[in-house]
Amino acid sequence: MKNFTLLVLITVMFMSCEPVKTKDMISGKFAHSVLIWLNNPNSEADRQKIEKGLKELIENSDYIRSAHLGVPALTARDVVDNSYTYHLMVTFGSKEEQDKYQVEPAHKKFLADCKNLWNKVLIYDSMNVLEEGENLK
């Protein structure tokens, strides 16, 4: 009975401890962030077409390692720009892979199919300074 009580006490003690959380790193050393402003952001047909095109690009690219496709979160802070229509962030293993992505068939098809839908695009490229496997808490 004494061992059972000790076991229950230890179990309760461990259950009340906060688990150690780590942050996931994005896969790849090169991030390519694209902000898109549609000509007709209220057009459901245009939104469906560009979303379909972007999803096909992500799915068919030989070089994209990870992807995020989003719309403005409508956060209300002076430093936040919510004026864009879509945000695509993709990562690559290296700058060289990103260079190949720029001329691959999947990217060329997306541009041919969808470039008439937007009036402005801003791109931010960056190299990751975090080391692969670095434990971020």
DSSP codes of every residue in 39-62: SSTT-HHHHHHHHHHHHHHHHH-S
Average pLDDT over residues 60-80: 95
Place of tokens 């030989």: 62
Report the percent of the chain where pLDDT is more than 70.
77
Q: What is the pLDDT of residues 4-21, one digit of tens each?
A: 554 444 444 555 555 555
Would you say residue 59 has pLDDT above 70? yes
For residue 68, pLDDT beyond 70: yes
Which position has the higher pLDDT, 127 or 137?
127
- Global pTM value: 0.78
pLDDT at 15: 52
